[in-house]
Amino acid sequence: MGLNRGGRQCPLCHGHFVADYHIDQNRSYLHCSTCSLVFVPSDQQLDPADEKAVYDLHQNAADDSGYRKFLSRLTAPMGERVKPRSHGLDFGCGPGPTLSVMMEEQGHQMALYDIYYADYPDVLEQPYDFITSTEVVEHLANPREELDGLWALIRPGGYLGLMTKLVVDQHSFASWHYKNDPTHISFFSVATFNYLAELWEANIEFIGADVIILRK
C-alpha cells in the first residue's frame, strides 16, 4: 500500500495512505487503506456543467413502474422501520422525484434536495426522522462533508437509508460496469460503510446487494 503521492488524499476519511487501484482509458482509481473507499482523483472528475449534462439525460418519473420497483428496494425496508407520519428528506432527488412520492404514499411528510434540480438550502437546516439517498453517494466529490452533514440532521433514533452498488474486490472492479459512468467518482464497500458506522456510533444493516440503513 503506497503513501499518498502528488497531494492525493482520501475524500472520506482524509487519510493519506492511498494507492493505485485501477486505471482504464478514461481515468484512474485510488484505494484508501484506512476506510477502503475507492475514488477518482479530483483532477479527473467532470466539472459541474458536464456532470449536469449527464444527469439531464436521465428520464426517471413517478409513474414509471420499473423505476418504482427499483426504488422499493429502499422504500420497503425504510417504511418498515420508521414511525407512522414521520418527516423525511430525499437527498439527491434528481429531476423526477419519485422516492419521495412513494414515501408520501405511505403517509410520511417529505422534503426534497438536489444540488441541480431542487437547490433549496433551507431544507438542510431542519431535523428529520429519516433521510433517503438513492444512487447518490457514488457521485459525491466530498463524501465526508456531505454525509456528516446529513447525519447531523437526523434525530436520535432516526435512519439514514442509502442505495449504491458496492465494491467487492480489485479483480471484479476491473470489469465492473458501475465505474464506467463518468459521474461516479466515490465507490463504497461493506468495509467503508462499517467505517462510517463506527465513526458515527451507528447501527448498520446491509439489505440485499445495494441497500444500507444506518440508525442513529
Residue 137 lies in a domain: yes
Q: Enter the pTM of the model.
A: 0.94
Residue 30 lies in a domain: no
Residue 100 lies in a domain: yes
Q: Which amino acid is at 107?
A: G
Residue 38 lies in a domain: no
User: Which domain range does residue 145 map to?
Assistant: 46-163+191-215
Q: Which residues contact 70 (CB under 8 A, 6 or more apart)?
A: none
Mean of pLDDT over the chain: 94
Residue 39 lies in a domain: no
Give me the mean pLDDT over the 14-19 stretch: 94
User: Does the pLDDT at position 108 exceed 70?
Assistant: yes
User: Does the pLDDT at position 4 exceed 50?
Assistant: no
CATH code of 203's domain: 3.40.50.150
Q: Which tens digits make up the pLDDT trace of 193-203?
A: 999 999 999 99
**φ, ψ dihedrals at 35, nearest 5°:** -115, -5
Give the model's confidence band at 2: pLDDT under 50 very low, under 70 low, under 90 confident, else very high.
very low
Cα separation, 140 vs 96, whole angstroms: 19
Give the model's confidence band at 56: pLDDT under 50 very low, under 70 low, under 90 confident, else very high.
confident
Give the model's confidence band at 1: pLDDT under 50 very low, under 70 low, under 90 confident, else very high.
very low
Give the count of domains, the chain: 1
User: Does the pLDDT at position 10 exceed 90?
Assistant: yes
Residue 94 lies in a domain: yes
Give the model's confidence band at 6: pLDDT under 50 very low, under 70 low, under 90 confident, else very high.
very low
Give me the mean pLDDT over the 7-23 stretch: 92
pLDDT for position 61 = 73
Give me the mean pLDDT over the 57-79 stretch: 88
Residue 32 lies in a domain: no
Q: Which tens digits make up the pLDDT trace of 122-175?
A: 999 999 999 999 999 999 999 999 999 999 999 999 999 999 999 999 999 999
pLDDT for position 51 = 92
pLDDT for position 142 = 96
